Structure 1
């Protein structure tokens, strides 16, 4: 196993929709099961948290940054182990469309293969987000 710390990878996708539309959809945690398959098929609000009971990892709790005008979709995911993973995400203008940028942070003791697998999962989730938003025009 590798013990590289502080390594990041920016995974992004261009979406042919304006920033407001992309942010409005992606910032609503109720929409997560449609595009973020790593969280499972359902998510329910519990106060300021969103709970996915049936994620592939088990029960996870998601807390998003408050809605804002800056396109910030940062969120913490608390895993069944109790570990909390911070996920920085931004929606930024890209011409008439948008770019969604997810900063994947390598976790301590994460192998190269695990880091690649996480990056592939994020890329697939962003591709689903793009498909959903572009087909809903």
Structure 2
């Protein structure tokens, strides 16, 4: 396991089970316009400008969000381009599980990120996935 020389893992898989068909969860989560409803860690607003989705992120400021093309495999990978021009790739999947699904986000620790900041990032992802679950399981 690569640890960036810190002894701490550089990747965490964070998941939640949602009692809703995978196709429904994928359709909702893959629509960038829905991000402010469940992915507060990414931003509380998003707009479509000149063919790009731009979110107002609390941390780094305005970021560009680009999802993988729609697909039948539940791949929700998305790139977030920071104001610095750095692009962070975020692997994410919606996996069918009986009548429901599991949503898995792979959090990768970027070089220079402290263990405390990495824990904070993981907590933010957990919160976002919990919000997605709550939204999708509402009657």
Q: Report the RMSD for the aligned CA atoms in angstroms.
A: 1.7
Superposition map of 1:84-123 within 5 A: 84-123=87-126
Shift of residue 114, structure 1, vs aligned partner: 0.7
Would the alpha carbon gap of residues 51 and 4 (structure 1) be closer, same or farther in structure 2, given more than 3 Å must change? farther
Match of 1:49 among 48, 52, 77: 52
| Match of residue 124 from structure 1 | 127
Structure 1 contact 4–108 (Cα < 8 Å) conserved: no
Would the alpha carbon gap of residues 85 and 10 (structure 1) be closer, same or farther in structure 2, given more than 3 Å must change? same
Gaps of 5+ in 1: none
Shift of residue 88, structure 1, vs aligned partner: 0.2
Shift of residue 44, structure 1, vs aligned partner: 1.0
Structure 1 contact 48–63 (Cα < 8 Å) conserved: no
| Match of residue 10 from structure 1 | 13
Give distance in 1, aligned partners of 2:5 and 2:97.
32
Deviating 4+ runs (over 3 angstroms): 2-6
Normalised by the size of structure 1, how large is the TM-score? 0.92
Normalised by the size of structure 2, how large is the TM-score? 0.90
Shift of residue 48, structure 1, vs aligned partner: 4.2
* Superposed CA offset, 1:46-67 (max 9, x none): 3442101x31020100000000
Shift of residue 40, structure 1, vs aligned partner: 2.3
Match of 1:40 among 38, 43, 54: 43
Structure 1 contact 12–102 (Cα < 8 Å) conserved: yes
* Superposed CA offset, 1:77-114 (max 9, x none): 01112111000000001121000000001100110001
What is the total number of aligned residue pairs between the two structures? 134
* Superposed CA offset, 1:14-61 (max 9, x none): 000001100000000000000000222211113442101x31020100
Structure 2 contact 4–10 (Cα < 8 Å) conserved: no
Structure with larger RCO (C-alpha < 8 A, sep 6+): 1
